[in-house]
Amino acid sequence: MSEVDPKTFFELVQFQADYGAVLDAGDWDRWPEFFLEECTYKVQPRENYDRGLPLATMAFESRGMLKDRVYGIKETLFHDPYYQRHVVGLPRVLMSEGGRFECESNYAVFRTKLDDYSRVFNVGRYLDVIVRTPEGLKFASRLVIFDSEMIPNSIIYPL
Amino acid sequence: MNDSQVVFPGIATWEGDGTSRVPFWAYTDPDLYRLELERFFYTGHWCYVGLEAEIPNPGDFKRTAIGERSVILARDNDGAVNVVENVCAHRGVQFLRPRFGNRRDFICPYHQWCYSLKGDLQGVPLRKGVKQDGRVQGGMPPQFRNEEHGLTKLKVATRNGVVYASFDHSVPPLEEYIGPAMLEYVDRTFDGRKLKVLGYSRQRIAGNWKLMQENIKDPYHPGLLHTWFVVFGLWRADNKSQLVMDEHFRHAAMISRRGNEGMTGEATKGVSSFKQGMKLNDERFLDVVAEEWWKGPTVVMTTLFPSVILQQQVNSVSTRHIQPRGPGEFDFVWTHFGFEEDSPEMERRRLRQANLFGPAGFVSADDGEVIELAQNGFEQKPFHRTVSELGGYTCENTDHLVTETLIRGMYDYWRRVMQV
């Protein structure tokens, strides 16, 4: 456990909260802005992560790839529309050094389809590397390691 | 279309002897579904269970399924691969829970019946009773024989690192079952090179299991539903292609070569998913490098009936395992792999291109979505039927993609086996 001052901790919490709010609003174009140009975003089943198997459900390496995903969501991927709702726990700050933070936080995402009840869609933890830039905090890396290995049909939107 | 007034037809009959119109009840009827499990998954057919690379060492096991039956694939001390049913002979407990691991033997937690990795019963606790006050109390009757109480053993066949199994010990040899036409395509990917497992994706799709077989026997949809395929030339109606079936029409391969990116023509005229001028922000998603073993085609999608799809889509290779769960649901397990000989660059390329496939894939996520919606339609009006008449009414191999011949072929086989 690394010590960060309350102001920094608040910033990290706010950053996480903003991220969830953007996804829950379906404001897809703003999603890549949370990341550095060169970045890692992976949504990976826990079994692969734990066993050191590299396959991820989504594995992106640049803001360009994130933008391609956004285009996919908006224009090319047919899917049954749904709402998302993120509930994200407080970050556990593992490392803090010179404007670079390694954090871990639990999340649960609920999915609500138009003619159905709200259901638990995906739960897991974020493993983050967050850096301070002139434009504010950004993810250098966000690994979404999910316990919900049996995916209910598909994952279209980012988590 | 004219609608019948009888929504639930009672005794359903398939009109005529064609297979271009499949009744919706063939996807929803629970009795038919159980008969399918009996006739396709539990007798007469080989089912996919895994890759040898998943269980490299003696004692390694993998838990998987054939139809709805839980089975264990285990590497024995002599190096052989065994497949046994995951049900204790004593009280029926599905005793093995981890998906992967290493064991010296299998022990049921309930009464500690112990089995070898081959499934032979080694011993049972309190077999000789308990000696108390000079008397032996209880114990198994003297007639009890270990050899009568082993786990159910399946017949196993491996070919170039892929493991198939059958509950039916009278099943024809694997090579005969796959047939010479399909074997060529199966052996193209699995030519004896050592495989390297890259990881798994699992999805549960609320549709009948046959819909996933049909999805990969349907060359009509990829150039329409999947924008990426048509825009980047990976799959289009005018690509140089072949559709090949085995002699029974149950297995099939769709073979094609990538066409030019972004080109327009008859195949894209009026296709709303075709987006002229669409460019990737990061082209590494499609950093395709041709491999020698392709021998030309950039894609070969093979369906082995009933349980597995073998994928080669440019540099992405996987097996997709179909595990039915009732008439309206199946699990779909993807095992992505590469080859031990792959350079780090090739492995990274396979992983990048894996973004196109699986439950979130740029081209595969919508297959699951569409299958669920098809099942919804079937449930709603079981008296109705599909229309698979692109390319006519008959089943034959073709040298183009503008046909639903493979779906008609599969139902030709299905009707013969099911006697429906």
Let me know how long chain B is: 420
Residue B226: the pLDDT is 85
Cross-chain residue pair A68–B281, CB shorter than 8 Å = yes
3-state secondary structure of B290: coil
How confident is the prediction for chain A on average, in pLDDT?
97
A51 in contact with B, Cβ within 8 Å: yes
Residue B1: the pLDDT is 59
Strands B299-304 and B308-313 turn out to be: antiparallel
Preceding omega of B306 cis (within 30 degrees of 0)? yes
pLDDT level of residue B307 (50, 70, 90 thresholds): very high
Residue B173 CA to residue A69 CA, distance in Å, equals 45
Residue B319: the pLDDT is 98
How confident is the prediction for chain B on average, in pLDDT?
94
Let me know how long chain A is: 159
Residue B181 CA to residue B131 CA, distance in Å, equals 65
Query: Which is more confident, B265 or B413?
Result: B413
**A2-11, A116-125, A148-157, B262-271: segment of lowest average pLDDT:** B262-271
Q: Write out chain B residues lying below 8 Å of A43, CB-based.
A: 360
On the 0-12 / 13-18 / 19+ scale of CB atoms within 10 A, B7 is: exposed
Angle at B324 between CA B415 and CA B413, to 5 degrees: 15
Per-residue pLDDT reduced to its tens digit, B74-118 = 999 999 999 999 999 999 999 999 999 999 999 999 999 999 999
Residue B32 CA to residue B417 CA, distance in Å, equals 12
Strands A136-146 and A35-45 turn out to be: parallel
Residues 6+ apart with CB under 8 A from B302: B182, B185, B186, B251, B252, B253, B254, B309, B310
Among the listed residues B257, B340, B259, the one whose alpha carbon sits nearest the alpha carbon of residue B294: B257
A60 in contact with B, Cβ within 8 Å: yes
Cross-chain residue pair B359–A58, CB shorter than 8 Å = no
Q: Write out chain B residues lying below 8 Å of A71, CB-based.
A: 278, 281
Residue B208 CA to residue A151 CA, distance in Å, equals 17
Per-residue pLDDT reduced to its tens digit, B337-394 = 999 999 999 999 999 999 999 999 999 999 999 999 999 999 999 999 999 999 999 9
pLDDT level of residue B263 (50, 70, 90 thresholds): low
- Residue to mutate among A62, A78, A109, A116, with most B CBs inside 10 A, is A78
Per-residue pLDDT reduced to its tens digit, B34-72 = 999 999 999 999 999 999 999 999 999 999 999 999 999
Question: In this structure, what token pair is assigned to residue B157?
Answer: 């066949």
**A141-145, B284-288, B303-307, B328-332: segment of lowest average pLDDT:** B284-288
Tell me the average pLDDT across A98-118: 97
Size of interface A-B (CB pairs under 8 A): 118
Residue B305 CA to residue A38 CA, distance in Å, equals 44
Residue B385 CA to residue A88 CA, distance in Å, equals 46
Residues 6+ apart with CB under 8 A from B25: B9, B12, B32, B378, B382, B383
Residues 6+ apart with CB under 8 A from A26: A83, A84, A157
Among the listed residues A73, A65, A107, the one whose alpha carbon sits nearest the alpha carbon of residue A90: A107
Tell me the DSSP string of B329-341: -EEEEEEEEEETT
Question: In this structure, what token pair is assigned to residue B106?
Answer: 């299998």
Residue B376: the pLDDT is 97
Considering chain A, what percentage of its residues have pLDDT values greater than 90?
97
- From the CB of residue B114, how many other CB atoms can be counted at a distance below 10 Å? 17
Residue B347 CA to residue A135 CA, distance in Å, equals 35
DSSP B24: G
Nearest CA in chain B to A155: B360
pTM for the model: 0.96
Tell me the average pLDDT across A122-138: 98
Cross-chain residue pair A45–B200, CB shorter than 8 Å = yes
Residue B93: the pLDDT is 98
Phi, psi of B36 (to 5 degrees): -60, -45
- pLDDT over 80 at A2, yes or no: no
Nearest CA in chain B to A50: B199
Q: Write out chain B residues lying below 8 Å of A146, CB-based.
A: none
Tell me the average pLDDT across A140-153: 98
Per-residue pLDDT reduced to its tens digit, B394-410 = 999 999 999 999 999 99
Strands B195-205 and A150-152 turn out to be: parallel
Query: Residue B312's beta-bridge partner residues?
Result: B300, B317
